[in-house]
């Protein structure tokens, strides 16, 4: 059973784009590190971070390529996807290890920090 996740956070660094082989075919994937904060109102027009968490996010295909090209460190994004737990055994200690990863279906740039943008023309225009 998959666990859906939707959250807003800031990129800790610029996304990295990799080519990963899946079933004999190379596919692009953008890897992002996002800090999902928990902002709580405090006073007039003031918010305090009451504890958040870092999460690795992967964004596959052409949309991942676009995200890697356009997004930068500090960008505020809304991310929606499926949480997946990866488990492995540490090669040196033999201890069981695990981590959560979010496989994104959609990443949206929060316009609150955008100063300008340029739309590309549709294909065929």
Question: Which domains occur in the chain, in start order?
Answer: 3-99 (2.40.50.140)
Count of CA atoms in the C-beta half-sphere (13 A) of 109: 16
Global confidence as pTM: 0.80
Report whether pLDDT(65) > 80: yes
Of the chain, the percentage scoring pLDDT greater than 90 comes to: 60
- Alpha-carbon gap, residue 93 to 84, rounded angstroms: 24
Per-residue pLDDT averaged across 94-98, rounded? 90
Predicted local distance difference test score (pLDDT) of residue 124 = 62
Report whether pLDDT(122) > 90: no
Per-residue pLDDT averaged across 102-125, rounded? 83
Indicate left, alpha or beta for 67 from its phi (over 0: left) and psi (-120 to 50: alpha): alpha
């Amino acid at each position: 059973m998959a666990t859906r996740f939707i959250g807003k956070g800031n990129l800790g660094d610029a996304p990295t784009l990799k080519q990963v082989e899946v079933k004999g075919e190379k596919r692009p994937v953008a890897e992002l590190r996002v800090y999902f904060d928990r902002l709580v109102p405090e006073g007039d027009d003031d918010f305090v971070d009451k504890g958040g968490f870092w999460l690795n996010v992967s964004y596959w295909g052409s949309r991942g390529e676009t995200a890697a090209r356009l997004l930068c460190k500090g960008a505020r994004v809304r991310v929606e996807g499926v949480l997946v737990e990866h488990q492995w055994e540490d090669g040196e200690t033999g201890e069981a290890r695990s981590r959560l990863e979010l496989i994104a279906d959609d990443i949206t740039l929060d316009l609150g920090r955008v100063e300008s943008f340029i739309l590309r023309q549709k294909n065929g225009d």
